[in-house]
Structures are given as structure tokens and as C-alpha cells.
Amino acid sequence: MNAPLLVAEDLHRSFGPTRALAGASLRVHPGEVLAVMGSSGSGKSTLLHCLAGIVRPDSGRVLYAGRDLAASTDAERSALRREEFGFVFQFGQLVPELTCLENVALPLRLDRVGRREAERRAAEWLDRLEVAEVAGKRPGEVSGGQGQRVAVARALVTRPRVVFADEPTGALDSLNGERVMRLLTGAARETGAAVVLVTHEARVAAYSDREVVVRDGRTRDLEVAA
Ligand SMILES: Nc1ncnc2c1ncn2[C@@H]1O[C@H](COP(=O)(O)OP(=O)(O)OP(=O)(O)O)[C@@H](O)[C@H]1O
């Protein structure tokens, strides 16, 4: 298998007296869909935030493409998040004042792509996520499932190498959840993006290539020969 793109080694992280991570390790290979499973409070989101350079572990290392995240500056880490990573959260977190098309175009605009080109690419992604009809609407005017598909389009429009998805279907009914998962993993496979998918639902994890379980802040790999 290729060299891993993202590596977490023996991460520990506490918030005051609460130990969120107590020895979490994992590897993400280019293009793979990895599900991070575990019960509520087990440390899944903290692990995802450490992997994405949002939360700094108390000890342990995170390497992205061989580079130690702790050795980079805040500016380098935010550039990495903007250029190489995409994010999908449980509640779309779209900008309410912008139309869905403008929301998807936003990461490109932040990368200084001109408006016309950014909106052309955003429209392509809305189409790909089967949600072209909401382009001119604001997030408050679309359904939960449509909003999540817009959020997936926004996460993928910059062609990231890793998409971090934290309970992306958590607020959806099962039919809409399945649709979001099918479109998210399909688009990621087409563009070669890896996906780190945090979920507590086996039905959602079924879309992954491999599963890692977090329990009391520690990871356990389900696949022996991963
Ligand atoms: N910023 C924070 N401040 C204080 N405690 C926190 C913070 N973030 C996480 N924790 C605590 O760390 C533990 C792990 O939380 P985390 O959100 O990583 O778990 P999770 O597995 O993602 O849970 P859930 O599935 O409920 O989202 C929990 O006890 C949580 O309350």
C-alpha cells in the first residue's frame, strides 16, 4: 500500500480533568475512506480535530505527508486546512447570508479564484451532488438533506486530499443520510480524496473501506491486516 498521508501516533489530550484521548493512533492512506467509530464521548471528534490541526495534542504526533503538524506555524496549519483539507460537520454550517452557490464558491474565492470561475466550478459541484436546484437559495430555505449535500460540495470544490466529516448524517433521516454518504464517498473516490468519517452508526460506517474504533480515548483497528 502507498505511504500513509496522515498519521497519528499515540495522541493524548485532556480538557481540564477530562481525558479525551489517552493513546490514539491511526493511519489514513491516500484515497481511502476511514470510519472512526465509538460511543458518545469516546474521543472521536477530538481525534478528528487533532488530525486536522485544529486541536493540539498534549503529547504524541500528527504527521501530514510526512510533516509534523506541531512543527508548523498557525499560519501554515490554516493554509493546510484551506488548501488540502475539506470539512463537513453534522449541521452544514453554511453561511446563512450567502446563497448555496456562493457558499460552495466561497473556499475558491478565499483562494483568490475570480468570481465567475469560482461560481462556474461551484455550479458543477452542486450538480454533481444532485442539488443544482438550490443554487440561488439561502441555506435557511433548503431541507436538511439538501443543505448537507451543499456542504459536501463546498468541502470538495477545492479538490482536497482529505475530507474530514464529523457525523455528516447525524441530523438526517436514514434515506437522506444514505444519499449524502453515497454522494460524499462517490465524489471522494472520483477525485482521489481520503475521507475521515466520524460516526457512531454502523449503517454510515458501512460506506468506508476500513473502520477504527475509539474507546475511552484509545483506538483499536478492526481490520487485522489493514
Ligand atoms: N473543548 C472541550 N472542553 C472540555 N471538554 C471537552 C472538549 N472537547 C471534548 N471534551 C470532552 O472530551 C471527551 C471526548 O469528547 P469528543 O467530543 O472527542 O467525543 P466524541 O466521541 O466525539 O463524542 P460525541 O459522539 O458525543 O460527539 C468528552 O468527555 C467531552 O466532554
Residue nearest to atom 27 of ligand 1 (CA): 40
How many angstroms separate the CA atoms of 126 and 191, rounded?
15
Domain extents in the chain: 1-84+194-226
Q: Which atom of ligand 1 is nearest to the CA of 198?
A: 22
How many angstroms separate the CA atoms of 23 and 12, rounded?
5
Interface ipTM > 0.90 = yes
CATH code for the part of the protein at 1-84+194-226: 3.40.50.300
Residue 41 C-alpha to ligand 1 middle, in angstroms? 5
Q: Which atom of ligand 1 is nearest to the CA of 16?
A: 4
Residue 180 C-alpha to ligand 1 middle, in angstroms? 25
pLDDT at 1 over 60: no
Among 100-104, 157-161, 222-226, whose mean pLDDT is lowest? Answer: 222-226
pLDDT at 91 over 90: no
pTM of this prediction? 0.92
Q: At 225, is the pLDDT very low, low, confident or very high (cuts 50, 70, 90)?
A: very low
Cell 497519528 found at: 8
pLDDT, tens digit (0-9, with 9 covering 90-100), for 153-195:
999 999 999 999 999 998 889 998 999 999 999 999 999 999 9
Residue nearest to atom 28 of ligand 1 (CA): 41
What's the average model confidence in pLDDT over 128-143? 96
